[in-house]
Amino acid sequence: MAQAKGYNAPLGTETYVFRSSGIVPNSSLPLIVRRGAVSPSEHDAVRTFKATFAKNGWTNAWINGIHDFHHYHSNTHEVLGIVSGSARVRFGGEDGDLVGVSAGDVVIIPAGVAHACIESSDDFAVVGAYPGGADYDTIRDDPGALAASQQRIAQLPLPDADPVDGADGPLVKLWT
């Protein structure tokens, strides 16, 4: 796991770094998994996640699941808040890590990091959002798209804030 020098991430924070596989770009920035980062309201978990992300500048939110095929976004970073249920998601492409996620967890995915839902509970749902409300592309495993994707990713600015804890959150410390 990657950690910034001299930075102690909050308890329940995991990081993973995935290098380019020659098929998907992945990223030198760590993927961040925050266990139980948001306590969803039992009455409106979707609203809880959307409001938390929006107050920190992560908007253009949607609710759904996670595609069951490997894909990545080359034009924006992404946050996923697990609203309900649980899943096992493979990050980093076919040879990446299988990570279990459940309600309350938040996953911050750097642009270029592949992800696919491998299995999930029937009630699995996520809220996704993007820094500055960016629109997103969806690129599947495609070696022919790799060079152009890497160029787009290299030009992306880092987000101004962590989607949960703003300017003092782990993303700001770990992605600098």
DSSP string for residues in 131-161 = ETT-----EES-GGGHHHHHHHHHTPPPPSS
Q: What is the pLDDT of residue 39?
A: 87
Residue 7 lies in a domain: no
Domain count for the chain: 1
Residue 4 has pLDDT above 90, yes or no: no
Residue 22 lies in a domain: yes
Rounded to two decimals, the pTM is 0.94
Residue 4 lies in a domain: no
Expressed in angstroms, the distance from the first to the final Cα of the chain is: 16
Which pLDDT tens digit goes with each residue over 93-107?
999 999 999 999 999
Residue 167 has pLDDT above 60, yes or no: yes
Residue 20 lies in a domain: yes
User: Could you tell me the CATH number of the domain that includes residue 141?
Assistant: 2.60.120.10
Q: What is the pLDDT of residue 46?
A: 95
| φ, ψ dihedrals at 122, nearest 5° | -60, -25
What residue numbers bound the domain in which 162 lies?
13-174
Q: What is the pLDDT of residue 5?
A: 47
Mean pLDDT of 110-118: 98
Burial class (CB in 10 A: 0-12, 13-18, 19+), 75: middle
Q: What is the pLDDT of residue 53?
A: 98
Which pLDDT tens digit goes with each residue over 31-73?
999 999 998 777 899 999 999 999 999 999 999 999 999 999 9
Residue 5 lies in a domain: no
Residue 175 has pLDDT above 50, yes or no: yes
**What is the percentage of the chain residues whose pLDDT exceeds 70?**
95
Q: How far is the C-alpha of 35 from the C-alpha of 155, rounded, in Å?
A: 30
Residue 153 lies in a domain: yes
Residue 3 lies in a domain: no
Which pLDDT tens digit goes with each residue over 63-95?
999 999 999 999 999 999 999 999 999 999 999
Residue 123 lies in a domain: yes
**What is the percentage of the chain residues whose pLDDT exceeds 90?**
86
